């Protein structure tokens, strides 16, 4: 079924681009900006490419999104809001990677586009620029939105008692992680392997080909090692140091970060942003290194269990996971705007859930081997700090979640009020073909109809 939908997308897309100049018409006007039928059809075709069933009603939602975007960009121009070129480059690259993946490869995508991907990237760049400006404008509209404890309480008390949400079991879990540390001699094996690849490139071999063959960075290897533009805060400090030191076209020596061993080539520099490509080798952990890690974590575990050191101190001093060690070892719920440590069990990493599901509150699991999301092996032990059974929402236990909901409601109201005011003061005309869209009723006023009949 998915293949049929993709083929349908390719046909829709090719017909659209082939006939664009013939069938195009203006379907909406917002101030001095226009929306074309081809823009609606192009976004609808991308919707089909996602593997979803064709649904013409989606065009109503696309129109609503584009109308909102035009209003936001109109205000952004007044407020002198700009988007960095590097941010546009990154978003263009991200979307092209997604489209190539869904189309089944770059060649398939170019067949449906009827043009090289590089040309299509130039065509969509203005649209993506506008979308990013709109996003930045909306962020400015809501930048001062905040909720006080009183706001949260009033929001909660306004919810009918029979409509209060129920929450599944939640836990607070901590970890101490020890990764094997390689000796200088053990590291040389991987450094020598990378140095051989670096010399091949210096002697004329293709960087992109070698990256695809040997790099162990799953996010960039398939793109020939290329990374989107990044600033000084994005990458590991050792990576950043070389990226901002070199000139375009220069190769770095082999260097080490927490992810493994790399070398990189700078491709382009724009102000305080750099685009580069790299090859990464992630070292395996030889048995001797794993044994050293086991001895280390067993010692830490025993100190914690014997109460010679509290868990938080142990994590802060020794844990090798930087995402948790600076939080006393506690794992954060990144899906919460408040970065709470309370995590629904259905959102836990399955490997962690299997361990803590049978643990008692206040207890520690025995150190065991694990593999992290980068494929790196190490040892860890877990601490079950809190376990809250399923329950109906209440302020005492669920304040962070209720605060999130109160914030979202207030945020939504601010944005809605902003659009209400701008719609009343802006010339808007929408094509009659969209009058049956319920979602556009707020946009189609008597003034809109009158303008459309002019």
Q: Higher pLDDT residue, 338 or 2?
A: 338
> Which pLDDT value is given to residue 12?
40
pLDDT of 301 > 50? The answer is: yes
Closest CA to 102 of 44, 20, 47, 41: 47
Six-digit token string for 111: 């067949």
Percent of the chain with pLDDT over 90: 68
Q: What does R_g of the chain's alpha carbons equal in angstroms?
A: 27
Contacts of residue 152, defined as CB under 8 A and 6 or more positions apart, other chains included, come to 395, 399, 402, 403, 406
pLDDT digits (tens, 9 = 90+) for 34-83: 999 988 987 887 787 666 778 888 999 999 999 999 999 999 999 999 99
| Bridge partner residues of 173 (DSSP) | 384
> Which pLDDT value is given to residue 115?
82
> Which pLDDT value is given to residue 3?
37
In which element (H, E) is residue 324 found?
helix 322-325
**Low-confidence winner among 94-108, 167-181, 200-214 (lowest mean pLDDT):** 94-108
Q: Is there a contact between 136 and 83 (Cβ–Cβ < 8 Å)?
A: yes
pLDDT digits (tens, 9 = 90+) for 143-159: 999 999 999 999 999 99
Q: Is there a contact between 264 and 239 (Cβ–Cβ < 8 Å)?
A: yes
pLDDT of 19 > 70? The answer is: no
Q: At what angle do helices 311-318 and 287-305 cross, to 10 degrees?
A: 150
- In a 13 Å sphere around the CA of 298, the CA atoms on its Cβ side amount to 7
| Bridge partner residues of 170 (DSSP) | 344, 388
- In a 13 Å sphere around the CA of 437, the CA atoms on its Cβ side amount to 22
Write down the pTM of the prediction.
0.69
Closest CA to 270 of 32, 84, 102, 28: 84
Identify the DSSP state of 448: H
Query: Measured between alpha carbons, how far is residue 134 from residues 39, 68, 371 in Å?
Result: 17, 8, 40
**Low-confidence winner among 10-24, 62-76, 171-185, 265-279 (lowest mean pLDDT):** 10-24
> Which pLDDT value is given to residue 23?
60
Distance from C-alpha of 306 to C-alpha of 393, rounded to nearest angstrom? 37
For every residue of 117-141, which 3-state class applies, written as one string? Answer: HHHHHHHHHHHHHHHHHHHHHHHHH
Q: Higher pLDDT residue, 13 or 111?
A: 111
- pLDDT average, residue stretch 349-371: 96
pLDDT digits (tens, 9 = 90+) for 184-223: 999 999 999 999 999 999 999 999 999 999 999 988 998 8
pLDDT band at 171 (very low <50, low <70, confident <90, very high): very high
Q: Is there a contact between 95 and 124 (Cβ–Cβ < 8 Å)?
A: yes
300 φ/ψ angles, rounded to the nearest 5 degrees: -65, -45
Q: Higher pLDDT residue, 330 or 259?
A: 330
The mean pLDDT value of the chain amounts to 88
pLDDT of 281 > 70? The answer is: yes
pLDDT digits (tens, 9 = 90+) for 378-430: 999 999 999 999 999 999 989 988 999 999 999 999 999 999 999 999 999 99
């Amino acid at each position: 079924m998915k293949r049929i939908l993709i083929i349908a997308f390719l046909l829709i897309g090719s017909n659209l681009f082939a006939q664009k100049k013939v069938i195009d018409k203006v379907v909406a006007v917002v101030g001095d900006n226009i929306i074309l039928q081809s823009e609606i059809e192009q976004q609808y075709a991308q919707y089909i490419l996602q593997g979803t069933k064709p649904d013409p009603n989606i065009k109503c939602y696309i129109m609503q999104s584009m109308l909102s975007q035009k209003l936001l960009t109109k205000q952004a121009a007044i407020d002198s809001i700009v988007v960095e070129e590097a941010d546009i480059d990154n978003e263009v690259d991200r979307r092209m990677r997604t489209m190539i993946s869904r189309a089944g490869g770059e060649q398939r995508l170019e067949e449906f586009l009827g043009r090289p991907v590089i040309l299509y990237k130039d065509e969509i760049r203005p649209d993506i620029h506008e979308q990013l400006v709109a996003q930045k404008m909306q962020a400015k509209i809501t930048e001062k939105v905040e909720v006080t404890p009183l706001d949260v309480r009033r929001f909660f008390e306004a919810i009918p008692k029979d409509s209060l949400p129920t929450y599944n079991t939640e836990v607070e879990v901590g970890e101490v992680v020890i990764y094997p540390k390689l000796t200088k001699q053990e590291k040389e094996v991987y450094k020598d392997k990378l140095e051989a690849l670096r010399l091949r490139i210096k002697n004329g071999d293709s960087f992109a080909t070698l990256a695809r063959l040997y790099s162990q960075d799953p996010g960039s290897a398939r793109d020939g090692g290329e990374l989107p533009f990044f600033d000084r805060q994005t990458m590991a400090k050792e990576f950043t140091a070389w990226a901002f030191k070199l000139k375009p076209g220069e190769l770095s020596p082999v260097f080490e970060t927490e992810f493994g061993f790399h070398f990189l080539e700078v491709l382009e520099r724009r102000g305080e942003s750099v685009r580069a490509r790299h090859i990464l080798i992630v070292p395996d952990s030889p048995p001797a290194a794993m044994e050293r890690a086991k001895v280390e974590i067993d010692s830490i575990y025993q100190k914690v269990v014997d109460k010679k050191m509290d868990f938080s101190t142990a994590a802060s001093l020794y844990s090798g996971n930087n995402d948790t060690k600076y939080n006393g070892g506690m794992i954060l719920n990144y899906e919460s705007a408040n970065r709470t440590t309370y995590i629904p069990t259905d959102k836990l990493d399955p490997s962690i859930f299997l361990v803590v599901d049978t643990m008692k509150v206040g207890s520690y699991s025995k150190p065991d081997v694990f593999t992290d999301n980068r494929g790196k092996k190490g040892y860890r032990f877990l601490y079950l700090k809190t376990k809250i059974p399923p329950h109906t929402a209440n302020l005492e236990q669920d304040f962070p979640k209720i605060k999130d909901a109160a914030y979202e409601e207030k945020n939504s109201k601010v944005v809605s009020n902003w659009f209400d005011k701008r719609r009343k003061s802006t010339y808007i005309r929408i094509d009659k073909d969209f009058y049956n869209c319920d979602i556009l009723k707020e946009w189609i006023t008597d003034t809109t109809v009158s303008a459309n009949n002019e």
